[in-house]
Amino acid sequence: MKKTFLLFTVALISLTSCSSDDDGQNDNGNNNSGIKLPKSEVTTSEPEGTISKLDYTYDGTKIKTTSGSNTTKSVYTYNESNVLSKIEFKENDITKSSTKYVFDNGDIKSTTTYSVSADNVETKTSYIEYTYDAAAKTQTAVTTTYPAGVPTVSNTKIVNTYDDNNLVKTVTTATIDDKNDTVTTTVYVYDDKSSSMKNVTGQPATIVKGQNNPKTINTTVIVRTDNTSGTPITTQSTYDYEYDESGFPILVTSYSAGSLISVKDIFYN
């Protein structure tokens, strides 16, 4: 599944497209090569009408920083092969946490997240290990947390299925015991246009959110109690797009169960 898997992400969430070509950058680290990359996103959330902004800077076609409307910033670090190795999360330019990434032949193998104290001491808070089934195009994620420093394996397992660098299905199983669990299945349907992040390099598809844009996301939850499955409950999110002349999205309108959730404007370099 090499380089067939890449967040949400964040986190997410693997495919990668890596590049060692950093030509075309200017002195402030922004891309200046003519390759289309998102420069900023402005989102209006409903019904409150709250407006938030996310700005991007680049080193070639690799994300260098993302910064929010307030004082938050994420700083990206890459290894000698130009593959993502760490993201630091800052508030007022002070690092609050960081996530370190390990890859093997293009597949993400693990992420380790740390909280960072005022005197810059790291404390491990979670570790996610990823395994793959190449034939099924699946990625399985199991999380270990460290409450009071004690490793605790989560009872929740996540299985992601990818196709053409897009996440097409996620099955999350939260197990209580052999007779009680909750299974959440999310199915994604995409358009045939380019994702705003299509040209971003150095990261797996689970972080840059794939090559195309989701049109519908259907989520079904089934709760099993005493070995009896309850009635499936399904919710649907839908997305409408406006595209530029190159087929990249410039406006995204999001709905949940038919109700308007947000409107996002995307601006490019």
- pLDDT value for 206: 57
Cβ–Cβ < 8 Å for 24, 34:
yes
pLDDT digits (tens, 9 = 90+) for 162-204: 988 899 999 999 999 999 999 999 999 999 999 999 999 988 6
Per the listing, tokens 């002195």 go with 27
pLDDT digits (tens, 9 = 90+) for 52-85: 999 999 999 999 999 997 789 999 999 998 999 9
Cα angle 37, 137, 9; round to 5: 45
Q: What residues form DSSP beta bridges with 190?
A: 214
Cβ–Cβ < 8 Å for 15, 3:
yes
Domains in the chain with CATH codes:
16-268 (2.40.160.150)
Residue 242 has pLDDT above 60, yes or no: yes
β-pairing verdict for 166-177 and 180-190 = antiparallel
Residue 240 has φ and ψ, to the nearest 5°, of: -110, 145
Residue 244 has pLDDT above 70, yes or no: yes
Cα angle 75, 205, 251; round to 5: 80
Cβ–Cβ < 8 Å for 141, 156:
no
Kindly provide the b/e burial profile for residues 229-251, where b requires at least 16 CB atoms within 10 angstroms of the residue's own CB: eeeeeeeebbbebeeeeeebbbe
Rg (CA), the chain: 19
pLDDT digits (tens, 9 = 90+) for 120-163: 999 999 999 999 998 888 999 999 999 989 999 999 999 999 98
- Give the closest residue to 203 by CA, choosing from 1, 69, 11: 11
E-assigned strands of 135-190?
138-145, 152-163, 166-177, 180-190
Calculate mean pLDDT across residues 39-61.
Answer: 95
E-assigned strands of the chain?
16-17, 38-45, 50-59, 62-67, 72-78, 84-91, 94-104, 107-116, 122-133, 138-145, 152-163, 166-177, 180-190, 203-204, 214-225, 228-229, 233-243, 249-256, 259-268
List the single range of 20-24, 202-206, 221-225, 228-232 with lowest mean pLDDT: 20-24
Residue 24 has pLDDT above 50, yes or no: no
Mean pLDDT of the chain: 86
Residue 117 has pLDDT above 80, yes or no: yes
Residue 42 has pLDDT above 70, yes or no: yes
Mapped onto helix, strand or coil, the DSSP state of residue 186 is: strand
